[in-house]
Amino acid sequence: MRIWLKEMRDNRSLTQEEVAKLSGISRSHYTHIEQGNKTPSVEVAKRIARTLKFEWVIFFEKTCSLEEQKQAI
């Protein structure tokens, strides 16, 4: 799970549905990103970051999720 992303969403008092809508993606896609099951494309990362007011590159500075590590093996 990307705890930092959930914290940023909670700090803005937004639901997953609201972030997804404001970012132009489906709620399920956003949920997978927040849970760490998927890594967003650069464009989606930029849109989510714009919605939640943070630098988009943070998605790619953090270590990948456990699920992503399993898929790489």
Confidence of residue 67 (pLDDT cuts 50, 70, 90): low
Question: Residue 5 in contact with residue 58, Cβ under 8 Å?
Answer: no
pLDDT tens for each residue of 34-50:
998 999 999 999 999 99
C-alpha–C-alpha distance, residues 40 and 36, integer Å? 10
Q: How many CB atoms lie within 10 A of CB 32?
A: 17
Instruction: Check residues 66 and 43 and name the one with the higher pLDDT.
Output: 43
Confidence check: pLDDT of 72 > 90 = no
Of the CATH numbers 3.40.50.300, 1.10.260.40, 3.60.15.10, 2.60.40.10, which one belongs to the domain with range 3-72? 1.10.260.40
**Could you give the C-alpha distances from 67 to 2, 49, 55, 73, in angstroms and in order?**
12, 22, 24, 10
Mean pLDDT of 15-22: 98
